[in-house]
């Protein structure tokens, strides 16, 4: 827990003081304002009995996006698309190994194993395509806290880890609980 | 506060060859990367190398780029680059650990005279709206080659004729792992000795980097037209590389092979005196004994233009030290 908090503070500390204050204010406001919607989202994300628990894609509540195609999602996770349509910067939050949601994302989105995943990001930095790899989060709580704090951020968690202030987006028009949802 | 990342690449080699070149143990390049994010849009990319030579170490600023990202479709930068000619020059270059093989193809070797591997100038680059085709562009203007044609014009354009280049590549969603591209480079070359010529380089490549298999093929055509008059000549160079990452218990092993060929006409006013003709084939085995280090063993049979066929055996340990002391928490540390 202390490690999680330490990581959280360090990542949050990289945002400017002004933007951090704004982010905290927005997060707090939205946490209250979005409770009914988040509850509905959490209900929609409940896994169907007998199926593997789906992985929800969560963005900062301030982000204008509510639906992505799977190809768009892959481009964002691959760092091919580094800006949202409103030209704000994407901040990718990726769960550290070993976690089931990371395994699903590596398998379904990246189609890479752990070694290939590391080499991929080193290669991207080497070629000056990106200035930094994904931010690492060490728990679902940390992912949910940071995604609510950092404007432009996007992450993934088990559907059961969705919190009231979260904004779960549709992938190809589907929520995690919908049949045919691609991340299970 | 700026966020700083640093990375290192390095290698150590053992060479046994019947070529008349220094053999035995060799320290390859030690390459450091410094990446600074001043904010969400302004970034600096620096790459610095130390290369072992018989008289000591040669230190070089390989890349020094300051870039402003307006969005995904437009990024403007100035500085010193790896010229976007073909695939290898920008994909691997000084990152020995990143490349499957011990060394680069001969056409892009260290100190290459065939291709202008570095470029000093300015670039615009970004994505092109193309749906699932994943099109990207680069367009640059710069000094072109120096009077020593293996070097970029770091201190200024020696002949007042700017070089320019355009490159287009695609990473289609439907064929995840595939990258294809083509580019064109134009300059006027003025060597310290010899004739002055207009240079046009056309290049195309296909790269499939999923490792099962890995396939890279690149073709370059370099045309020279003497400015004082005379026939246009074209030199051709290509390589084809195939590798395959084994599965299961053997997943750390990757056998590979490459064939390459360079032809230079005897009438080429720039290249002919440099003996750049080459034909060679390599086969080898890469063993990734950790996530960040690899051992490579390679056999090479090759023929330089004015020499007999030669045989060589090469061993290399290459490694990377990712994200040294960075103010960020990236996947590389996991």
DSSP B201-245: EEEEEEEEESSTTEEEEEEEEEEEEETTS---EEEEEEEEEEE--
Instruction: Single out the residue of B69, B58, B54, B176 nearest to residue B124, CA to CA.
Output: B69
pTM: 0.85
Contact A126 B33 (CB under 8 A): yes
Contact A127 B91 (CB under 8 A): yes
Position A91 pLDDT exceeds 60: yes
Q: What is the count of residue pairs from A and B with beta carbons less than 8 Å apart?
A: 107
Name the pLDDT band for A19 (thresholds 50, 70, 90): very low
Residue A85 to residue A64: CA distance in whole angstroms: 9
Contact A87 B71 (CB under 8 A): yes
Beta carbons within 10 angstroms of residue A156's beta carbon: 26
Of A7, A14, A118, the CB nearest to B331: A118
Contact B329 A114 (CB under 8 A): no
The pLDDT, as a whole number, for residue A8 is 39
Residue B8 to residue B28: CA distance in whole angstroms: 13
Interface with B, mutate which of A87, A90, A94, A122 (most B CBs under 10 A): A122
Residue A94 forms contact with B (CB below 8 Å): yes
Contact B5 A132 (CB under 8 A): yes
Identify whether the C-beta of residue B110 lies closer than 8 Å to the C-beta of residue B104.
yes
The complex's ipTM? Answer: 0.90
Mean pLDDT, rounded, for A124-148: 93
Nearest-neighbour CA in chain A from B229: distance (Å): 39
Identify whether the C-beta of residue B128 lies closer than 8 Å to the C-beta of residue B136.
yes
Instruction: Single out the residue of B291, B299, B293 nearest to residue B315, CA to CA.
Output: B299
Nearest-neighbour CA in chain B from A157: distance (Å): 17
B215-228 as b/e, with b when 16 or more CB fall inside 10 Å? bbbbbbebbbbbbe
Each residue's pLDDT, cut to its tens digit, for chain B (334 residues) gives 889 999 999 999 999 999 888 889 998 889 999 999 999 999 999 999 999 888 889 999 999 999 999 999 999 999 999 999 999 999 998 889 999 999 999 999 888 899 999 999 999 999 999 988 999 999 999 999 999 999 998 889 999 899 999 999 999 988 989 999 999 999 999 998 878 999 999 999 999 988 999 999 999 999 999 999 989 999 999 999 999 999 999 999 999 999 999 999 999 999 988 889 999 999 999 999 999 999 999 999 999 987 889 999 999 999 999 875 444 444 444 4
Residue A14 forms contact with B (CB below 8 Å): yes
Of A87, A111, A126, the CB nearest to B98: A126
Nearest-neighbour CA in chain B from A40: distance (Å): 32
Contacts of B251 in chain A (CB under 8 A): 113
Residue A107 forms contact with B (CB below 8 Å): no
Identify whether the C-beta of residue B207 lies closer than 8 Å to the C-beta of residue B177.
no
Domains of chain A: 2-171 (3.40.190.10)
Contacts of B67 in chain A (CB under 8 A): 128
Structure tokens at A143: 């992912």
Contacts of A135 in chain B (CB under 8 A): 328-330
Contact A97 B334 (CB under 8 A): yes
Contact A114 B291 (CB under 8 A): yes
CB < 8 Å & 24+ apart, contacts of A48-53: A48/A177, A51/A184, A52/A184, A53/A100, A53/A158, A53/A159, A53/A160, A53/A184
Contact B329 A131 (CB under 8 A): no
Contact B3 A87 (CB under 8 A): no
Residue A164 forms contact with B (CB below 8 Å): no
Contact B320 A122 (CB under 8 A): yes
The pLDDT, as a whole number, for residue B324 is 59
Nearest-neighbour CA in chain A from B81: distance (Å): 10
Q: Is B212 left (phi over 0), alpha (psi -120 to 50) or beta?
A: beta
Residue B186 to residue B182: CA distance in whole angstroms: 14
Contact B328 A122 (CB under 8 A): no
Instruction: Single out the residue of B265, B242, B210 nearest to residue B101, CA to CA.
Output: B242
Residue A92 to residue A88: CA distance in whole angstroms: 13
Position A32 pLDDT exceeds 80: no
Nearest-neighbour CA in chain B from A127: distance (Å): 6
Choose between B31 and A17: higher pLDDT. Answer: B31
Residue B2 to residue B109: CA distance in whole angstroms: 35
What would the DSSP string read from start to end of B121-143?
EEEEEEE---GGG-EEEEEEEE-
Of B211, B292, B330, the CB nearest to A121: B330
Contact A122 B70 (CB under 8 A): no
Domains of chain B: 3-333 (2.40.160.10)
Helices (H), chain B: 88-91
Nearest-neighbour CA in chain A from B12: distance (Å): 20
Choose between A116 and A49: higher pLDDT. Answer: A116
Nearest-neighbour CA in chain B from A44: distance (Å): 29
In degrees and rounded to multiples of 5, residue A165 shows phi and psi of -90, 15
Residue A163 forms contact with B (CB below 8 Å): no
Residue A132 forms contact with B (CB below 8 Å): yes
Contact A81 B63 (CB under 8 A): no
Identify whether the C-beta of residue A90 lies closer than 8 Å to the C-beta of residue A152.
yes
């Amino acid at each position: 827990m202390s490690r999680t908090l330490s990581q959280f503070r360090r990542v949050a500390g990289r945002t400017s003081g002004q933007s951090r204050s704004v982010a905290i204010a927005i997060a707090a406001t939205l946490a209250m304002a979005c409770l009914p919607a988040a509850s509905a989202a959490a209900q929609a994300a409940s896994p169907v009995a007998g199926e593997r628990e789906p992985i929800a894609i969560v963005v900062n509540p301030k982000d204008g996006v509510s639906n992505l195609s799977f190809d768009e999602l892959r481009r964002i996770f691959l760092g091919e698309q580094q800006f949202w349509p409103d030209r704000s910067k994407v901040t990718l939050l990726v769960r550290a190994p070993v976690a089931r949601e990371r395994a699903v994302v590596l398998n379904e989105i990246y189609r890479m194993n752990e070694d290939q995943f590391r080499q991929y990001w080193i290669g991207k930095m080497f070629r000056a395509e990106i200035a930094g790899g994904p931010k690492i989060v060490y728990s679902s709580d940390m992912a949910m806290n940071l995604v609510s704090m950092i404007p432009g951020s996007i992450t993934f968690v088990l559907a059961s880890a969705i919190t009231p202030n979260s904004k779960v987006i549709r992938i190809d028009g589907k929520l995690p609980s919908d049949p045919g949802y691609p991340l299970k | 506060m700026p966020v700083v990342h640093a990375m290192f690449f390095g290698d150590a080699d053992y060479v046994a060859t019947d070529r008349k070149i220094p053999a035995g143990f060799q320290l390859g390049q030690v390459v450091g990367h410094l990446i600074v994010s001043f904010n969400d849009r302004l970034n600096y990319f620096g790459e610095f190398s130390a290369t072992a030579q018989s008289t000591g170490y040669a230190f070089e600023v390989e890349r020094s780029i300051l870039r402003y990202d307006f969005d995904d479709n437009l990024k403007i930068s100035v500085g010193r680059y790896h010229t976007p000619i073909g695939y290898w020059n920008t994909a691997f270059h000084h990152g020995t650990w990143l490349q499957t093989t011990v060394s680069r193809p001969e056409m892009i070797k260290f100190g290459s005279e065939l291709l202008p591997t570095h470029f000093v100038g300015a670039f615009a680059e970004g994505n092109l709206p193309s749906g699932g085709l994943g099109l990207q562009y680069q367009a640059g203007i710069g000094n072109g080659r120096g009077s020593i044609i293996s070097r970029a014009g770091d201190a200024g354009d020696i002949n007042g004729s700017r070089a320019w280049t355009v490159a287009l590549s695609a990473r289609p969603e439907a064929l995840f792992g595939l990258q294809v591209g083509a580019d064109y480079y134009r300059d006027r070359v003025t060597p310290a000795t010899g004739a002055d010529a207009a240079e046009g380089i056309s290049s195309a490549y296909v790269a499939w980097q999923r490792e099962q298999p890995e396939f890279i093929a690149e073709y370059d055509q370099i045309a020279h037209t003497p400015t004082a008059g005379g026939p246009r000549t074209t030199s051709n160079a290509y390589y084809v590389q195939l590798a395959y990452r084994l599965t299961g218990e053997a997943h750390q092993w990757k056998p590979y092979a490459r064939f390459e060929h360079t032809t230079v006409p005897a009438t080429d006013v720039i290249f002919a005196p440099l003996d750049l003709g080459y034909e060679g084939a390599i086969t080898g085995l890469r063993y990734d004994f950790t996530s960040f280090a690899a051992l490579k063993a390679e056999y090479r049979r090759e023929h330089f233009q004015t020499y007999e066929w030669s045989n060589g055996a090469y061993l290399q340990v290459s490694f990377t030290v990712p994200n040294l002391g960075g103010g960020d928490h990236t996947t590389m540390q996991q």
